[in-house]
Structure 1
Amino acid sequence: MMSRAIFLLSICSLAGLAAPSVLESYLVDRHTGPERLDPSSPVLEAIARPAPSRAPNTGFGRNVVLDADQSGHFRTDARLNGMRNTVLIDTGATKVAIDEKTARQIGIYPKPEAWTIPVQTANGMAHAATARIDRIEIGNIVVRDVDALVLQEGTLGVTLLGMSFLSELDRYSVRDGRLTMER
């Protein structure tokens, strides 16, 4: 009986460690209709708990180097329209994804009729609205006029910086647990 309990606890522990990565791969927005979005768009990592953020290391010119946290994710402080926000860099997300509270803090107020994009999150189905963020800064990197999705309050655990941000960089790469971004 004791060995069965230990076996079950081991399986639960492994599942708990793997859950964020598995959910990151499979929780994508599902757009119904003829213009179905790319299945890799935007991964909604709603269950990962934000780790304490670290300031990015900035080098010469406009580049930033981030070290992965214990779970292998890249988290840092950014400024969205001048407001400080902890973000998770997510190459699997097509767009930047923010929640309603963050949107209000940075001056984005989607109209009621704008909430038309269904998304699947760890908390179930939700709706999102499209938006544009005037300015996103990480260290000495600045990207302007960035496409974003605003998700309903309570459906997103952390702001995701997806490809609508990363594709505006001159280059980014991941090597040896470090993300380097250049602009």
Structure 2
Amino acid sequence: MAAVRGPRALLWRWWPNPLRRRSDRIEAWTLLTVWLLALLAGTPAGLWATRSVELGLARERAEWRPVTALLTERAPGTASGSERVWAEVRWSVADGRAHRGQTRVEPGSAAGAPVTVWTDPQGRMVTRPPTEAQASLRAGLIGILVGTSAALVPLAGGRLVSERLQRRRLEQWDTEWERVGPQWRWKTG
């Protein structure tokens, strides 16, 4: 007899079978419910996270502005070095308030040299906002991570239920074996 393959093999818990136990039916319904919950939890969570990150990064691109700052002192290092160094800079915002901060500059840059820094609407120094392509990639990756994490919750719960059912089947099997096993030792005449 050939082995059963295809959809019938995948859905064996749903087909009539005299050997199918009640726990097999419970496990089949649990499996179906868990996968449905994982799909219903993970997809909206991932889409929501993606949209939220995209909106936040778009707001940063719209609000953050480049400002010309001036070095307050000569930058450490020599001009021959390729590694950028930290140096103190100062800049003014539109309302005239002065700000100070540190940013990376070319080594050996002279005091008073202009440097471009990015600021938020309050004039605080921020990192350069991501481009639209970088924002889409970041939002997509975060959405996948959040969606997968949300889907893992019902999958973990289903795994616990499945392990409990398996443990119960083994206990029932042990009980049945204790009852039937001694009968196999009897000798027939």
Is the structural similarity TM-score above 0.5?
no
* Between structures 1 and 2, the one with greater helix share: 2
Query: Taking structure 1 as the reference length, what is the TM-score of the superposition?
Result: 0.26
Larger Rg: 2
Query: Taking structure 2 as the reference length, what is the TM-score of the superposition?
Result: 0.26
